[in-house]
Structure 1
Amino acid sequence: AGLQFPLIFKAVDTSGSRGIVKAENSSKFAEAYRRVRENTRKDYFIVEEFLEGEEFGAQSFVSQGKIQFILPHGDYVFQGDTGVPIGHWAPYELEQSVIEDAKEQLQKAVIAMGLDNCALNADFILSGGRPYVLEIGGRAGATCLAELVSLYYGYNYYEKIIQAALGLPVDFASQEANPNVGMLLRSEKTGSIRKIVNKNDREDKQIVEIQFDYQAGEQVQAFRVGPHRIGHVVVKADTLEEARAKMEEALGKIEIEVEEEH
């Protein structure tokens, strides 16, 4: 049997959700084909059936051919042309059997792809009680995901990645577990930033980082894909519920005013 609509077209050499297009039916096929070709330098791309279910991400690391850890995380998603991650949280509650299944699928995937001694950024969908691999990249995830791993396990994940790249022995044993949330700052419109106000307390220990990528007077894009981000916020707490509440509070104390282009 052939593939059934809806279909997902995926470029294999892009990031930030560029070159990923959904075709609901045959009348959308030509447009999806055109758009994915515009966003790839390759002469091929992937077409898959669109699975429905519960999406989740996972950060992982493969060393000497073996998956060293798998950290499932929840994703906050912006619905544009396709779902674009705008934030993440950990821990993400899954049955242990599902986590073990996801780890097994990752192990098979890295062998098939020839990946070794690198970070892994994976997207899964839980459909019919089973995790299916949607995408894997041989790198750490963006959108504050390296920070998510660092905070959750209590070590500097960037340092671990560098040690592995240098061929040094790396220990991924968890030192602590900090529930945490990371979120992108975004603009709803394209234009020039008039002002940025941050009323958060610099001494607040639950706020790990607030970063602005732009300053007043600079141009920003209305958010559609990951690279349109204009900053991020990362928070941690003793429980995920507290971390989510702190994120909501922190975002409420940030004001970014953008004057729309006409």
Structure 2
Amino acid sequence: MTRASDSASRLLIIGASALQVPAIERARELGYQVAVADRDPEAPGVALASAFYEVSTIDEDGVTAAARDFAPHGIITIGTDMPMRALAAAAEALGLRGPSRRAVYNATDKGAMAEALRAARVALPWTEVVTSVAEMRAVTAGRPHPLIMKPADSSGSRGVTLVESEEGMDSAFEYALSSSRSGRVIVQEYMRGPEVSVEGLCFGDERTIVAITDKITTGAPSFVELGHSQPSQLSGERRRQIEEIVQEALAALELGDCAFHAEIIVTADGPKLVEIGARLGGDFITSHLVPLSTGVDMIGGLIDIAVGTRPDTAQRIRRGSAVRFLKSPGTPSRAPEARAMAGVVLVAVVEGTNARAVRSSTDRLGHVIAEGDTVTTASTTAEAAITLLLKREP
């Protein structure tokens, strides 16, 4: 696999938050000179970079200007949707590899995504886009409850609500609208069944699925993710169906030269696609879980794609990995005990935080990552560590 071999090899990473730190660290390990673009000069990734551009990660013109100044050989961002639009714009302007602007728009706007996927006959829930309470009422007339309402262009479970009855519809619409940049809201069929995500990489139109991840969420009304485990424990036939749907979706959206993260619910009628992003999965799925369970370096693979090298997606190991999140305050003093548990890879506890309702991923208060010979072992270890962190001091 080709890697950077001298200090002249440059990589621009959009974002310098804690989410991007694994990408910055991996790029440096591979020999790249790294610049970061972020509106926060105090973001943790800034100190790790060779150059910093103070610009919003969703400012397409600003990121493009930063890219022109730094002249990178590639541009990446991980685990977040909307900065992909700035990445596509900058890559196009500089003639670098990356997904097309049209493909990224379709992958970051849930209304456009649903339209493109419906046209390709990909298995989906019914989905409508509305901009007002009146439109919402019109498209839901005669539709059964419960249903889902969410912003057309947000992520991290922001603005998502399960609407159980007519009484909650107006407030759910307003909540979704408050997190929508475009003023558009998605109204969607509520699907019941196990939820998984699918992780992979696209090199041109060569699209490789690397892992399928089982999920745990808070459930209604916001469905915030509280855990992920690999490999999925679904049957081989279910996994085959899921992989087929994801490949159909990738082709329909014309995604190429990027990572992808798809979300699927296995309903009584079979698997249906919730949405798909042109990015690596967040929540430590691709930065930690995939390498631990498969040996595939997803961040390194994405960097390779950005600089024009085919990524290495060969699975080298078959183990289990899991992450579990705290939804109530943990005890920081218990963290050393949790870290000492066999199989625990990483422990983080947010200090000095009061309990609050978990309505989006930003409300979670820490996490544990674990590995094991099997997914059951890894999951059990992560859950035991979370239990320990929740114990009060005597």
For residue 179 of structure 1, what is the aligned residue in structure 2? 320
What is the identity, as a one-letter code, of the residue corresponding to 2:384?
E
The 5-angstrom pairing of residues 117-136 of structure 1 reads 117-128=257-268, 130-136=270-276
Unaligned runs of 5+ in 2: 1-125, 127-138
What is the identity, as a one-letter code, of the residue corresponding to 2:320?
P
SS at match of 1:253: helix
1:149 correspondence with 2:284: no
Cα distance in 1, alignment partners of residues 243 and 165 from structure 2: 33
Cα distance in 2, alignment partners of residues 218 and 203 from structure 1: 24
**What TM-score do you get using the length of structure 2 for normalisation?**
0.58
- Kindly indicate whether the alpha-carbon contact (under 8 Å) linking 2:293 and 2:319 is maintained by their aligned counterparts in 1: yes
Unaligned runs of 5+ in 1: 258-262
For residue 347 of structure 2, what is the aligned residue in structure 1? 210
Please state how far the C-alpha of 1:25 moved relative to its aligned partner. 3.1
Please state how far the C-alpha of 1:197 moved relative to its aligned partner. 2.6
Cα distance in 1, alignment partners of residues 254 and 364 from structure 2: 32
- Kindly indicate whether the alpha-carbon contact (under 8 Å) linking 2:216 and 2:228 is maintained by their aligned counterparts in 1: yes
Aligned pair partner of 1:88 in 224, 228, 249:
228
For residue 183 of structure 2, what is the aligned residue in structure 1? 43
Q: Which has the larger radius of gyration?
A: 2
Distance 1:202 1:5, change over 3 A: closer
For residue 362 of structure 2, what is the aligned residue in structure 1? 227
- Kindly indicate whether the alpha-carbon contact (under 8 Å) linking 1:143 and 1:183 is maintained by their aligned counterparts in 2: no
Number of matched pairs? 252
Q: Aligned-pair RMSD on alpha carbons?
A: 2.7
The 5-angstrom pairing of residues 59-70 of structure 1 reads 59-70=199-210
- Kindly indicate whether the alpha-carbon contact (under 8 Å) linking 1:67 and 1:103 is maintained by their aligned counterparts in 2: no
SS at match of 1:59: strand
What is the identity, as a one-letter code, of the residue corresponding to 2:305?
A
Distance 1:161 1:237, change over 3 A: same
- Kindly indicate whether the alpha-carbon contact (under 8 Å) linking 2:200 and 2:261 is maintained by their aligned counterparts in 1: yes
1:250 correspondence with 2:376: no
Moved over 6 A (4+): none
Cα distance in 2, alignment partners of residues 248 and 33 from structure 1: 35
Aligned pair partner of 1:158 in 270, 285, 299:
299
Distance 1:194 1:152, change over 3 A: closer
- Kindly indicate whether the alpha-carbon contact (under 8 Å) linking 1:163 and 1:170 is maintained by their aligned counterparts in 2: yes
Greater share of residues in helix: 2
Greater share of residues in strand: 1
Of structures 1 and 2, the one scoring higher in RCO (CA 8 A, sep 6+) is 1
**What TM-score do you get using the length of structure 1 for normalisation?**
0.84
What is the identity, as a one-letter code, of the residue corresponding to 1:230?
L
Q: Which moved more, 1:165-174 or 1:19-28?
A: 19-28
For residue 157 of structure 2, what is the aligned residue in structure 1? 17
Distance 1:90 1:194, change over 3 A: closer
1:237 correspondence with 2:383: no
